[in-house]
Amino acid sequence: MADATTEPLLTPTIDTDGAPFWEYAAQGELRIQACTACGELRFPPRPCCPHCQSFDSEWRRMAGRGRIWSYVRPHPPLLPGYAAHAPYNAIIVELADAPRIRLVGNLVAAPDAPLDSVEPERLRIGAKVQVAFTDVGGVAMPRWLLERP
């Protein structure tokens, strides 16, 4: 049995609808699915537009900037792979160029930094962040960096 220091972090289950998101992430791009009929952005990705019911879509490149909309610092009990990183944060980021789109991730000091690399006192609602990608279990995961460290 693996101990907490070797237990892997969770990776997403990649389905057909979301696969392009992860393919672009592997290229260092943040893209969001958009309806080509009405222009509305949607996340999470899905086959049908919830606004106009069109099945036509494209993936639009985002600037990768946003602000912390909310955050949490998980407390025990935690999954074994995460307990070794505690206290860490999980944030919800509202994208600057798509305010109705919010993504979940972690605020870190550098793309490959540990999940606990930002002091809890530095977390605040409204803080400006930018996306960075790092490999977690073979998947390019979006993480977030403070625009002004």
Per residue in 54-85, pLDDT (tens digit) is: 999 999 999 999 999 999 998 877 888 888 88
Q: What is the pLDDT of residue 135?
A: 95
For residue 68, which of 123, 31, 140 has the smallest C-alpha distance? 123
pLDDT grade, residue 5 (50/70/90)?
low
Q: For 41, list phi and psi in degrees, rounded to 5.
A: -80, 150
The helix/strand/coil state of 141 is: strand
Q: What's the predicted TM-score (pTM) here?
A: 0.90
Contacts of 128 (CB under 8 A, 6+ apart): 65, 66, 67, 146, 147, 148
Question: Is the pLDDT at 7 greater than 80, yes or no?
Answer: no
Position 148 pLDDT exceeds 90: no
Tokens standing for 13?
């289950």
Instruction: Look at residue 91 and tell me whether its pLDDT is greater than 90.
Output: yes
Closest CA to 42 of 105, 95, 115: 95
What are the residues whose beta carbons fall under 8 Å from the beta carbon of 9, sequence distance 6 or more? 81, 82, 115, 136, 137
Task: Say yes or no to pLDDT of 4 above 80.
Answer: no
Closest residue by Cα to residue 88 from 125, 126, 114? 114
* Amino acid 3: pLDDT: 44
Give the tokens for residue 148: 């002004």
Quickly list DSSP for 30-76: -EEEEETTT--EESS--SS-TTT----EEEEEP--EEEEEEEE---S
